[in-house]
Amino acid sequence: MSVLDRFRLDGRVAVVTGASSGLGVDFARGLAEAGADVALGARRVDRLTATAEFVEKEGRRALPVATDVTDPASCEHLVAAAMETFGRVDILVNNAGIGTAVPALKETPQQFRSVIDVNLGGCYWMAQATARVMRPGSSIVNISSVLGLTTAGLPQAAYAASKAALVGLTRDLAQQWTGRRGIRVNALAPGFFHSEMTDAYQPEYLETQLPRVLGGRFGEPEELTAALLFLASDAGSFVTGQTLAVDGGFTIT
């Protein structure tokens, strides 16, 4: 197998949560371009149709499934639907997530719990459901954030806590499953990429953070998708339990 062939995903099946918008759409399209069929999960199932079209334009099969990752039964339903349609699950991209920016003295228990339930709990329930059916050589990629590694000037206790927790969850699942089940578990920590979440930021806030990016710009979705493909494919077959920051140097400033 050549080096470039190791990035191919022909014959494999990926599950992507949060696939109705933003980076989830780019991830699904990139996985399909590399050769994978893709099961798509999100609460906004009507918007999954557009993502499915991107997958199918790459010549791959797509399966949109209404999914609430905070509900373990819904996660199991997504995986069961993928198994029924495709017969296997090789890759999980735990991308579903929400963010808030609420001062710690004003954040309500419900606001805090809602972020933890989606960003951390949702990843755990999806990892459980997929690991039960995955074969050796499979890969789970959790989408964390640079805000799980550093701060960025906003009051984001719930979001930062959930993304930092994903780093620990990634390590622990890797040590449980890589040797015993042959399932690699890694995380990506994206910096600033254009998405629905960054679109909600005030322009002046983004201007204050850009000097911390050594690359001097926001990342392009293709740059993050390329890192995802490395971790999801045989190109990263000797990498597990790691969190890869794709941030233009943000976390070292």
Domains (ranges, CATH) in the chain? Answer: 3-245 (3.40.50.720)
Q: Provide the pLDDT confidence category of residue 153 given band limits of 50, 70 and 90.
A: confident
Measure CA of the first residue to CA of the last residue in the chain; give whole Å.
39
Q: Given a cut of 90, is residue 177 above it in pLDDT? A: yes
Which residue has 């399932």 as its token pair?
183
Q: Given a cut of 80, is residue 199 above it in pLDDT? A: no
Q: Given a cut of 80, is residue 197 above it in pLDDT? A: no
Q: Provide the pLDDT confidence category of residue 202 given band limits of 50, 70 and 90.
A: confident
Note the pLDDT of residue 204. 83
Q: Residue 190: which of 230, 172, 163 has the closest Cα?
A: 163
Q: Provide the pLDDT confidence category of residue 249 given band limits of 50, 70 and 90.
A: very high
Measured CA to CA, the distance from residue 172 to residue 160 in angstroms comes to 19
Assess whether 201 carries a catalytic annotation. no
Amino acid, res. 46 = D
Catalytic site residue from 124, 159, 201, 205: 159
Give the percent of the chain with pLDDT over 70. 99
Q: Given a cut of 90, is residue 201 above it in pLDDT? A: no
The C-alpha angle with vertex 187 and arms to 10 and 167, in degrees rounded to 5, equals: 160
At 78-105, the pLDDT tens digits run 999 999 999 999 999 999 999 889 999 9
Q: Provide the pLDDT confidence category of residue 117 given band limits of 50, 70 and 90.
A: very high
Cβ-count burial of 159 within 10 angstroms (0-12 exposed, 13-18 middle, 19+ buried)?
A: buried
Cα within 13 Å of Cα(207), Cβ side:
3
Measured CA to CA, the distance from residue 186 to residue 241 in angstroms comes to 5
Q: Given a cut of 80, is residue 238 above it in pLDDT? A: yes
Segment holding 209, helix H or strand E: helix 203-209
At 41-84, the pLDDT tens digits run 999 899 999 999 999 999 999 999 999 999 999 999 999 999 99
Q: Given a cut of 90, is residue 175 above it in pLDDT? A: yes
Q: Given a cut of 90, is residue 198 above it in pLDDT? A: no
What mean pLDDT is reported for the chain? 96
Q: Given a cut of 80, is residue 195 above it in pLDDT? A: no
Note the pLDDT of residue 194. 78
Note the pLDDT of residue 1. 83
Encoding tokens for residue 47?
Answer: 């918007």
